Amino acid sequence: MNFDYDLFVIGGGSGGVRAARVAAGETGAKVALAEEDRYGGTCVIRGCVPKKLMVFASEYATMVEDAQAYGWDIQPGGFNWGKFKVKLHAELDRLEAIYRNILKNNGVETFDARAKLVDAHTVELSDGTRKSAKHILIATGGHPVKPDIPGAELAITSNEIFHLDELPKTMLIVGGGYIASEFAGIMNGLGVKTTQFYRGAQILRGFDDEARGLVCEEMCQAGIDVHLGTNVLEMRKEGDQIWVKATNGDERLFDQVMFATGRAPNADDLGLEALGVERGRKGQIIVDDYSQTAVPSIYAIGDVTDRVNLTPVAIREGMAFVETVFKGNPTKPDHELIPTAIFTQPEMGTVGLSEEDAAEQEPIEVYATSFKPMQQSFAGRAQRVLMKLVVSKASRKVLGCHIVAPGAGEMIQLAGIAVKMGATKEDFDRTVAVHPTMSEELVTLKRPVRSA
């Protein structure tokens, strides 16, 4: 049978674009891609990239105070959201153009349209045209979801936060994951009086307890009003503000409310069910180790599969898909020991197992130190940092590394290489310290602080 394309990709985010580019550019496959919104996807357009730029913007307030402590005669001014926003969106436009050009330069045909599946080899675009392909790759990502409570429509999500006309004076952020916690730090740093509600006992569930405890403590010290064990019951408009009733009985008014209470896969209305593509409890597309669905010609990668929802993981899955299907080299994406950073303030970097998860598996030793870094303590700020290694008693392997510190993301990328290679505590000990740095503490931790 003759198909229009060897590969049709649905979704122009990081994973889909990478798979399309590599399949077309490196294997000569005839590839098309459809994207209903902006190229670059969540990460580039409404996620990691604009978020990190907002983190940078929000950190300058404390830098001015620190500079004064170091003898610089500079005075803090106000933050101009309008000026920043114009530059931010110009940068996102530039990046989107790069993504479009990458596809064009590799010979990928693009359709600015929504696509859905008609059968195992056919997609239909929103204008009614149909295209056939030998292989179809779904890389449609995910979207933020709001809880089902009265007044939920009054709140924004992480999608809308980059488009605010002006910064609110007061803001409530609901959620305890990394998106909620990152934006609490951002808005607080930009001068917004920020409150965070989380229904759980501690923010950043699933990460190392000691590390997330320190992050929360420092967030509170920085002026964020964190309420744990608290959720929103109902909301309503009151004048220009939003009235919020909390589960602890509190009633308060905020200029703006943002829900960061979870994300769901973009897998509805794609025509999957009729074709026998299986979906999981959260609506995710079920795939095997090679990203293949129950229908052999249809594959899926990235957040729509709800495996590890991180941009670099979607890209890896896309590369493994091309290796498997177009290069004849069956490749499973490796989801083990993925280093990751959370751009809270303070920042957190982590790879491997938390102390709690490691202790459930085998006997461990914990090496940790917490201190005030030189740069900040000289300036009279008391933000603490944490350097922590979780070590197997039997094999001496470093099972987990957790860093809470400025620049933790940069550090964990490099520590992640060692942990991925199976480094032991003694390998860390044999490495000479780079002095004076914060990260040298990782190679000078002599005695375990506890065993479990």
Fold adopted by 152-261: FAD/NAD(P)-binding domain (3.50.50)
C-alpha 12/C-alpha 30 separation (Å) is 16
- Whether 435 is catalytic: yes
User: 340-451: same fold as 152-261?
Assistant: no
340-451: CATH architecture: 2-Layer Sandwich (3.30)
CA atoms of 153 and 146, how far apart (whole Å): 8
The predicted-structure confidence for 24-70, as pLDDT tens digits, reads as follows: 999 999 999 999 999 999 999 999 999 999 999 999 999 999 999 99
Residue-wise pLDDT for 327-356, tens only, equals 999 999 999 999 999 999 999 999 999 999
Residue closest to 396 by CA, chosen among 369, 350, 362, 370: 362
The pLDDT score that the predictor gives to residue 381 is 87
* Model pTM above 0.85: yes
Strands 364-371 and 385-392, how do they pair?
antiparallel
Q: What is the pLDDT of residue 170?
A: 98
Contact 195, 171 (CB under 8 A): yes
Residue 232: name the closest of 179, 154, 177, 174 by CA: 174
At residue 417 the predicted structure's pLDDT band, cuts being 50, 70 and 90, is very high
Backbone angles phi, psi at 201, to 5 degrees: -80, -25
pLDDT of residue 140: 98
- Domain residue limits, the chain: 5-143+264-326, 152-261, 340-451
Superfamily of domain 5-143+264-326: FAD/NAD(P)-binding domain (3.50.50.60)
Is 144 in contact with 262 (CB distance < 8 Å)? yes
Long-range Cβ pairs for the range 118-122 (8 Å, 24+): 118/271, 119/275, 120/275, 120/295, 120/296, 120/297, 120/298, 121/1, 121/3, 121/297
Question: Each residue of 271-310: pLDDT tens digit?
Answer: 999 999 999 999 999 999 999 999 999 999 999 999 999 9
* Residue 382: pLDDT over 90: no
Q: How far is CA 285 from CA 40, 43, 140, 169, 335, in A?
A: 21, 20, 10, 41, 17
Nearest-Å Rg of the Cα atoms of the chain is: 24
The one-letter code for the residue type at 16 is G
